Amino acid sequence: MLNDSRTAGQTIDVIASEGVIVLFGVCDDDHQARVAVTLTKGLVGVREVLDRINRRDIATRKVA
In a domain, 2, yes or no: no
- Torsion, CA 43, CA 32, CA 22, CA 58, rounded to 10: -160
Range of the domain at 17: 11-60
In a domain, 4, yes or no: no
Number of domains in the chain: 1
Q: How far apart are CA 50 and CA 64, in angstroms?
A: 30
- Cβ proximity of 26 and 11 under 8 Å: yes
In a domain, 35, yes or no: yes
Three-class DSSP category at 47: coil
Helices (H), the chain: 30-41, 56-60
In a domain, 40, yes or no: yes
Q: What is the pLDDT along the chain (64 residues), one digit of tens a residue?
A: 777 787 777 889 999 999 999 999 999 999 999 999 999 999 999 999 999 999 988 656 555 5
In a domain, 21, yes or no: yes
In a domain, 56, yes or no: yes
In a domain, 5, yes or no: no
